[in-house]
Structure formats: C-alpha cells, structure tokens
Amino acid sequence: MQIKTAEFVMSNSDVAKCPKSMLPEYAFIGRSNVGKSSLINMLTNRKSLAKTSGKPGKTQLINHFLINKNWHLVDLPGYGYARVSKSTKKVFQKFITEYFSKREQLVTAFVLVDIRHEPQPIDLEFMQWLGENGIPFSIIFTKADKLKPKAIENHIEAYQNILLETWEDMPNYFVTSSSKEIGKDDVLNYIDELNENMQLSSN
C-alpha cells in the first residue's frame, strides 16, 4: 500500500465524539516513549503527522487521522504514564477502555513494545485485557535497529514463551524500526489486506 494522503481529523477524549463515518479504524497504542509517534510518521511518510516528544505521555487524547481517504489511523494515549497523577491515569485508562469496547469501526489494534526490554507486566496485562475482551490485535516491536538480529530473535522468543503460557498461539507480530524504515511495508500491507477482505465481505 502506498500512502498518498494523511490528514489530521480530530482529537478528543470522548469516544462518543469520534468520527461518525464507518471507515475501518486501526488503533496504535503502547507505553509512553515506545516510539509510537515516530512509527506513525514513518508509516505515513510524514515528518510530524504525530507529534514526537522526549516527554513520556505526550499523546493524551484519541487522535484520528484519515489515510488515503478510506481508513482511519488512530493514535491512542499510552498506558502507564510515569509522570501522571493516579487520578489522571484512571481517566486515561477509562477512555482507552471505552474506545476499545464501544468503537465498532475498529478492525484491529497494534500494541507497540520496545524490543530492547524484556517483557513488561503492563504490556502483558494490556494484551491480556484485549484478549479477554475479544479485541483483535498485533504486536509491533519497535526500535529493532538498536539490536543485533540474534538479540531480536531472543527477545521475541522471550515474549513467545510468556504469551504461550496463557494464549494458544503467539499473536501476530511485526518487527520495526522507524529510523531505518524496517517493517513499514509489512504493517501497511497487512492493513491493506484487512481492508480488502472487509470490502469483499461487505459486497
């Protein structure tokens, strides 16, 4: 898939105010500082479609972007902010969970995980929550340029070992690097495939 147009549509914290169109939606979410904005900018060929920041927790709203006029990319707030008060954190968690439970347009979520770190409880808990709520998702391992191929394999294996304790299969996953454009085509082709399947099934 070639991304020809990528336009910002709206930001809000109220799921009821998200775009009314029934275009398919793909939501990107991960812990603060996982490289989500950089990944979105790489996928869309834009330098600053999503705002990148050295400060964790920059995305604090549901951000909708219209891609190629036929699907929405949704940039969701990170879960587990380091510098946010407990009461604010609860609000974030509430509208993240509301988004996933109420948004019928959602096709799948992409959970971003920094490949340099061993599996983190908060990521595993979030994937577990998605699974229990029947929400399809893929894992996107970010920052792959920072590790050697063998180390990447080892880290993915560590995830596999933990996830297969509770899951029947390893969830679908992608290995990416925003600075080296690794994995870009894989992610976009996957979205393209899902969009095409939906068109076929709706015809």
Q: For residue range 4-24, what is the model confidence (pLDDT) as tens digits?
A: 999 999 998 889 999 999 999
What residues contact residue 86 under an 8 Å CB cut-off, 6+ apart?
none
pLDDT tops 50 at residue 128: yes
Confidence (pTM)? 0.91
Alpha carbons 54 and 104: distance in angstroms, whole number: 33
Element containing residue 141 per DSSP (H, E): strand 137-142
Pairwise pLDDT comparison (87 vs 107), residue with the higher score: 107
pLDDT recorded at residue 60: 73
Ramachandran assignment for 47, one of left (phi > 0), alpha (psi -120 to 50 degrees), beta (any other): alpha
pLDDT tops 70 at residue 168: yes
pLDDT recorded at residue 162: 95
Phi, psi of 132 (to 5 degrees): -65, -25
Architecture of domain 6-198: 3-Layer(aba) Sandwich (3.40)
What residues contact residue 92 under an 8 Å CB cut-off, 6+ apart?
60, 77, 79, 81, 84
pLDDT recorded at residue 67: 97
Q: How many CB atoms lie within 10 A of CB 72?
A: 22
pLDDT recorded at residue 96: 86
198 pLDDT band (50/70/90 cuts)? confident
Q: Where are the beta strands (DSSP E) in 13-105?
A: 25-30, 62-67, 71-75
* Residue ranges covered by each domain of the chain: 6-198
pLDDT, mean of residues 106-112: 97
With tokens 């394999």, the residue in question is 153
Alpha carbons 38 and 52: distance in angstroms, whole number: 6
pLDDT tops 60 at residue 91: no
Q: What is the pLDDT of residues 25-65, one digit of tens each?
A: 999 999 888 999 999 999 999 988 887 655 555 557 899 99
For the chain, give the mean pLDDT: 89
Q: What is the pLDDT of residues 171-196, one digit of tens each?
A: 999 999 999 999 999 999 999 999 99
Q: Retrieve residue 134's tokens.
A: 């029947």
pLDDT tops 70 at residue 89: no
Alpha carbons 181 and 21: distance in angstroms, whole number: 31
